[in-house]
Amino acid sequence: MMRLDKLLCDLGEGTRKEVTLRIRRGAVTVDGVTVTRPETKVDPETAVLTLDGLPVVYSKYVYIMMNKAAGEICATRDPKLPTVVSRLPEKLRRRGLFPAGRLDRNAEGLLLLTNDGDAAHMLLSPARHVEKTYFVRYDGTLAPDAETRFRNGIAIPADDGDPACVCMPAELIRAGEHEARVKVTEGRYHQVKRMIAAVGGHVTYLRRETFGPLTLDADLRPGAYRELLREEITQIEEIKRKTRRQT
């Protein structure tokens, strides 16, 4: 059971003070009955709520798919630069959403915003080897044996404090002249750019197309977003269940 005012705050319906005032003014019903006491206990899983005559649907977690726009950073806030979270309406920002992982400032593509820390950890943990696919455009000419080198684990140089290393086996698929797709199961700093550079190219454009069970919605223009579909959430929940059984 939860206090009614806390439940509405957790759902992003306002600050505690704002929610308290709305409850006391009779704007909230619980199971068809107007409730004016903020401290009223309700079961969030079963209670039927309305606020100002509109239904309020309880969900513990929120999952947003965004097609990140170039020029924005993967952060909740920044004093100088636009962030991916700043695109969201206040109601969603109040839910405590954060980007699960990051894309470079000038990169585009699939980004998951959520308040589900377990899901974020599961998708980002190096031990889980979650696959990600990136579409890239590049200058230069890739080495003839680039695909083999990717499959065998390519060595990449140090970059901005991230040490030189040998990457885990990955996949390089040439998609056209100066275009390719790269599939990796790691998330090292500038990894895809460094891998392409190691075989003779220079990435000029990068877009993430898949992230674990999720595929970027082709209808989302850069900067646009939507909540995950029920089947997409189910896939994440299933991976979480499998992860718990293995630990």
Name the residue among 166, 181, 162, 209 with its Cα closest to residue 65: 209
b vs e for 166-185, b when ≥16 Cβ sit within 10 Å of the residue's Cβ? ebeebebeeeeebebbbbbe
**DSSP string of 158-169?**
-BTTBPPEEPPP
Q: State which H helix or E strand residue 25 sits in.
A: none
Q: What is the DSSP letter of 228?
A: P
Please, which residues have CB within 8 angstroms of residue 198's CB and are 6 or more apart in sequence?
Answer: 149, 154, 155, 156, 157
- Please give the Cα distance from 199 to 154 (Å, whole number): 9
Q: In Å, what is the CA distance from 69 to each residue of 25, 134, 223? A: 41, 15, 5
Residue 9 main-chain phi, psi, to 5 deg: -65, -45
Residues labelled catalytic: 104
Helix spans in 76-218 (H): 90-93, 117-124, 146-152, 191-198
